[in-house]
Chain A
Amino acid sequence: MDTTLSRTISLKVNGSAVQATVDVRHTLADFLRHQLELTGTHLGCEHGVCGACTVLVDGRSARGCLMLAVQAHGREVTTVEGLAGADGRLHPLQQAFKDHHGLQCGFCTPGMLTTLSELLADNPDPSEAQVRVAISGNLCRCTGYQSIVDATLAAAKSMRASGAAR
């Protein structure tokens, strides 16, 4: 095998160890979708504009279309599939999106959720303006941002409340 054209990588995806051989030219997003069949990560523009492909790499949001799969070697990747608990219970952000009409067609939703989960991990009590800036790199073409912002503020509140109860 010519290791400059394809490589075997080891990484963690949503908590599980994964080993796979990838073409070096394949993006992380295509690797997740086509090789791991994690189709929750969406591709809208494939050039870094829409944010639909956002995943977390070592806890930091990144555009899956602007990273090569081979660059994820040794890292921990979280996709939208990894946000819910192992028991299937929705992440508070997912629950709030459901309750507050934070999605319509759902195309932008995976990128919104991953980006916002990073925001809330960094800043459990963001202002409305901070939420809007955080999703400035995520385009939604149908829901309208208002209900996404409402859902995020509601999720932050419920996460703070349950954090305090713990």
Chain B
Amino acid sequence: MKPPAFAYHDPGTVDEACRLMSTLDNARALAGGQSMMPMLNMRFVLPDHVVDLGRIASLAAIEEGQEALRIGAMVRQRDLEHSPVVARRCPLLVDAIQWVGHRQTRNRGTIGGSLCQLDPAAELPAVCAALDATLTVQSARGTRSMPFAEFPAGYMTPSLEPDELLTAIELPDWPQGHGHGFVEFARRHGDYAIVLAAALLAVDAGGRITRVSVTLGGIGPAPVRVRAVEQALVGQVAAAGLFREAAEACRGLEAMEDVHAPASYRQQLAVVMARRALDAALASLAPSRGTAH
């Protein structure tokens, strides 16, 4: 249970990190280490070179754009949890972070690390799916951006080339005062969820839903946006009974099966979690927005 021998590099800039990733053989990037270090300790990964991104200050910044928050890939989960800017512009992310690992792992774990690890039941990929995040990816060959929807290439596999680094995550704003909810079911607090759900809700002055986003995690290899539920809700007056009915569409989703739960159990949980996330989103709507209660 000790890491294998490797050479260690801690570049101070993204350019230098990209140069190392493109010139070194069998190099792995190290972000917060909360998944990579266990894999090193257990020797599931055997890199010849480890490129630690922890000293690159530009990757650890949260920037306020005109219409989106731009979060550096190396921002620690703990810093997102306590950032007033994130709380104001992207409350769903704060809701979700409460469920990520434990205090000790959030202190080190990063948003970019979690996205690249891409565990099917992880919270942060679900937030990116819910918000239609845009990711920035850099290598010595250049910079490209992609919608989060194109990021998962398969089970725990991001669509990144071996020399590419995820550098930033852009989370587009929702209207001021929108509703947001994040719930999950796990056997113990801090475990990966069996199923999780994220919901976003915007309503007009009459309480009619103008925009809604419903995402499930833990169902398949990547987070799923449940368009059927979203389409059924737009234009309706937001109310708990409505959600109960609409969430039933989640039962028909294809669900994975593993040691934790059979597919039918996940489908049942999907219905319940989607409804609860929508209920939480409704409850969090700013009072001035007016709802159908």
Contact = CB atoms under 8 A, between A and B. Distances in A.
Do chains A and B stick together as partners?
Answer: yes
23 contacts: A4-B49, A24-B6, A24-B50, A25-B5, A26-B2, A27-B2, A27-B3, A47-B41, A47-B42, A48-B37, A57-B107, A60-B107, A61-B107, A62-B107, A66-B37, A66-B38, A67-B37, A68-B3, A70-B10, A118-B103, A133-B189, A137-B104, A137-B105
Contacts of B101: 137
Contacts of A109: none
Given A61-B103, A70-B10, A71-B52, 11 more contacts: A24-B6, A25-B40, A47-B41, A60-B78, A60-B107, A62-B104, A63-B105, A65-B37, A66-B108, A68-B37, A115-B103
Interface in B69-109: 78, 101-105, 107-108
A61 B78 CA distance: 11
Contacts of B41: 27, 46-47, 65
Contacts of A76: none
B8 interface: yes
Contact of A68 (B8, B104, B107): B8
B38 A25 contact: no
B103 A137 contact: yes
Interface in A53-88: 54, 57, 60-63, 65-68, 70-71
A26 B5 CA distance: 9
Nearest to B35: A48
A17 interface: no
B252 interface: no
B103 A67 contact: no
A136 B2 contact: no
Nearest to A24: B8
Contact of A63 (B2, B3, B52, B108): B108
A136 B108 contact: no
Say which size band chain B's interface belongs to.
Answer: 20 to 34
A4 B38 contact: no
A5 interface: yes
Contacts of B103: 61, 115, 118-119, 134, 137
A159 to B, nearest CB: 19
A54 B34 CA distance: 13
Q: Most chain-B Cβ atoms within 10 A of its Cβ — which of A2, A7, A62?
A: A62
Interface of B: 1-10, 33-34, 37-38, 40-42, 49-50, 52, 54, 78, 101-105, 107-108, 188-190
A4 B8 contact: yes
Contacts of A47: 1, 37-38, 41-42
A60 to B, nearest CB: 4
A92 B50 CA distance: 41
Nearest to A47: B38
A49 to B, nearest CB: 8
Q: Most chain-B Cβ atoms within 10 A of its Cβ — which of A5, A7, A47, A119?
A: A47
A110 interface: no
A66 B4 contact: no
Given A7-B8, A61-B103, A46 B78 contact: no
